[in-house]
Amino acid sequence: MSMSKTYTPEELKGMKSRTDSEKFKRTTEKKIREQSVADPDTPYLTDGEIKEFQPVNKARVRSWRRGLTSAR
């Protein structure tokens, strides 16, 4: 069961923002980093792990997005 909902541009324009702009402005880079480190879903990779990454083939990504190839 999907927890997401799709909105039309018209619906989005009519919605009131729930963002606390003042809290957003007060949030420091230090606080963002602390929250990121505390999040167990945030992967922190070693330099060795980062070196294992391979460049992305843009043509393959376009095909995958169109459903023409499987993700590998």
Mean pLDDT, the chain, whole residue set? 88
pLDDT number for residue 7: 93
If DSSP codes are grouped into helix, strand and coil, which group holds residue 33? helix
Dihedral sign, Cα of residue 38, residue 17, residue 9, residue 2: positive
**pTM: predicted TM-score of the whole model, two decimal places:** 0.42
pLDDT in tens, 48-59: 998 999 888 888
pLDDT number for residue 42: 86
Tokens 């606390």 correspond to what residue? 20
Mean pLDDT along residues 6-25:
94
pLDDT number for residue 69: 63
Q: Where in the chain are the domains? A: 20-65
